[in-house]
Amino acid sequence: MTPQPAQDQIPERAAMTAAATAQTPTLSHKARILLVDDEPLVLKMLHTFLESQDYQVLSASGGYQALEIMQQQQGTIDLLLTDIRMPDMNGIRLLEAVRQEYPTLPVLLMTGYSDFELVVEGLKQHAFDLLMKPIDFNQLTWCISKALAFVMTQRLEKQYRTRLEQQVADQTRLLCQQLEALQESQRTASEIDELKRNFLSLISHEFRTPLNGMVGALQLLETLELPAGAGGYLSMLRTSTEQLNRLVQNLLTLVEAQAIRPTATDSMTTPCQALQQLEARFSSTARSAGIELESSCSDPVDRKLYGPWDSLQIIGGCLLDNALKFNQSGSRVSCRIWTEPQGHDQRHAQVLIEVKDNGKGIPDHLQEVIFKPFTQLEHYLTRRSTGFGIGLAIVRTLCDKLGGTLSLVSKPEEGSSFTCSLPFAAAPIQEPRP
């Protein structure tokens, strides 16, 4: 309820009204005010004053006529100014009816009586403000400016909300389109990967038949008496055949690694036994190359774990094969296996295998490249090793498929350290019964 100003406060109130009006956002059209009062003189007086203030004014002599006008104007009324006491429909009932159709329309109530109960009821119906008759024009101007500022704020908020909803809808539609394109790209990439795997598997198996024929022919030639100087050619042919055989075997291993499923080949053994198997496979190769091979297992000898030991053998073998190929005579290569707890769960553990060398190392910008298939750091015309660039791709593929991690620490001329971690269990995990 706005208090009635004293006469000596009118100039001050007028100045405040002018300042408030200057700071109030303006509507894009002349504000339309619906004026309702059953007293013709009051109605005409207020109508004339409001028009002089550059408002569009519509007048009604009662509540029912006011509702008809509002229906005709179809929501273009910006402000309702109504008397409370009227014979056909009082201002409170009019306010209730207006609230059902226009819940945010500001309504100013006028009364010349001490209608305390009606005033309270009007405030409950969210009347914007209350004016006491006789109407003070400065006070009226002040209340109207605030009400129209409220209207403007509501409209700006609605425009902002509409614009924001449109932006959200546009962004959502764009994201959906991008998601569909990404899913289509993923499907295409998956199909291409499947074709590549099928091709590699098919061509590798097809190589086996002529390769076996070559190996058999070489074995037969070694039993025959050959002309002088033919032994060197036979040695070259044997070396090339062995390289081709390793390439075919690596291709098949890569295809199998890409198709492997977790727990498909899990078994039970100890970390130390796994290390012994690796040491037995590569000790003679290391001696032949003049490389010192060290091994260590920090786990108890009899501690058995359940998990992908076959895959760990493949990973360790690829890492050791890679280290022995890319290091010169006099170098040192170490292989270490140990376990670490997996959180607070005593039934699960991480088995880690580390292969470390003191060779030439790998630059930072190439440490991700070397895990791609058929990639080597040296150019094929000048490289000294005989690898095919498949081993590390097999390691990365198996680690990803089995939920493990793979890390590389290396600096040029300081050597490299590859570490793979795979999840294992103390005993086979029992599947729940259906």
Task: Encode pLDDT of 117-141 as tens digits.
Answer: 777 777 777 888 888 888 889 999 9
CATH number of 260-425: 3.30.565.10
Q: 147-161, 176-190, 255-269, 378-392: which range is least confident on average?
A: 378-392
**298-328, pLDDT tens digit by residue?**
888 788 899 989 889 889 988 998 898 888 8
Query: How many whole angstroms separate alpha carbon 100 and alpha carbon 155?
Result: 19
**Per-residue pLDDT at 21 exceeds 70:** no
Q: What three-state secondary structure class fits 103? A: coil
160, 153 contact by CB (below 8 A): no
CA Rg, the chain, in Å? 45
Cα angle 51-52-54, degrees, rounded to a multiple of 5 = 65
**Per-residue pLDDT at 18 exceeds 50:** no
How much is the average pLDDT of 267-288?
Answer: 90
Peptide bond before residue 134 is cis, with ω within 30 degrees of 0: yes
The single-letter DSSP state of residue 366 is G
Tell me the residue ranges of DSSP E strands in 129-233: 129-132
The residue ranking higher by pLDDT, 385 or 193, is 193
Q: Identify the H or E element spanning 215.
A: helix 137-222
CATH number of 7-163: 3.40.50.2300
**Average pLDDT of the residues of the chain:** 81
Query: How many whole angstroms separate alpha carbon 113 and alpha carbon 107?
Result: 18
Tell me the percentage of the chain whose pLDDT exceeds 90: 32
The residue ranking higher by pLDDT, 356 or 434, is 356
Which residues are registered as beta bridge partners of 107?
80
pLDDT band of residue 426 (cuts 50, 70, 90) is confident
Task: Give the position of tokens 């201002």.
Answer: 91
Query: How many whole angstroms separate alpha carbon 349 and alpha carbon 404?
Result: 12
Going from N- to C-terminal start, the domains of the chain cover 7-163, 260-425
pLDDT band of residue 1 (cuts 50, 70, 90) is very low
Task: Give the position of tokens 């493949």.
Answer: 314
For the beta carbon of residue 369, count every other beta carbon within 10 angstroms. Answer: 13
pLDDT band of residue 116 (cuts 50, 70, 90) is confident
The residue ranking higher by pLDDT, 431 or 67, is 67
The residue ranking higher by pLDDT, 210 or 256, is 210
**236-254, pLDDT tens digit by residue?**
888 788 777 777 776 666 6
Q: Identify the H or E element spanning 281.
A: helix 271-288
